[in-house]
Amino acid sequence: MNTSTILAALAIWAAMAVCAVANGILRETALVPALGAGLARPLSAAMLVGVVLGLTWVFLRWQGPLSAGALWGIGAAWVVGTLVFETGVGRTEGRSWTEIAANYDPTQPTLWVWVVVFILAAPFLVAQLMR
């Protein structure tokens, strides 16, 4: 993988992070009050998955074909960036390590862990769909 691909992947991840923050603000300020948390949270997760799909498609159209290993590596890098970002935001907001870790527990009623799994797989899945 060359430097331009790495920089492009970083730029796309940064765009995802900005969109995810905007999505969270929209969810908490508009969707939860209008729809309730039970409907707003899954809708917000679906919207974010759509954003990840779209940005991944843009990235892959821009970069051209990449090996399966490179695609999974990019997904893994996006997940690491996401975990670092989310942990940093959580700690800045005064959340405990236990509260932060609860977002990644697949037995809890949160979809966030599945969004993160999707971020990991997105480059490979979108590349397969583009073939």
DSSP one-letter code for 66: -
| pLDDT value, residue 1 | 80
pLDDT tens sequence for the chain (131 residues): 899 999 999 999 999 999 999 999 999 999 999 999 999 999 999 999 999 999 999 999 999 899 999 999 999 999 999 999 999 999 999 999 999 999 888 888 789 999 999 999 999 999 999 98
Question: Cα(102)–Cα(99) distance, rounded to whole angstroms?
Answer: 5
pTM (predicted TM-score): 0.92
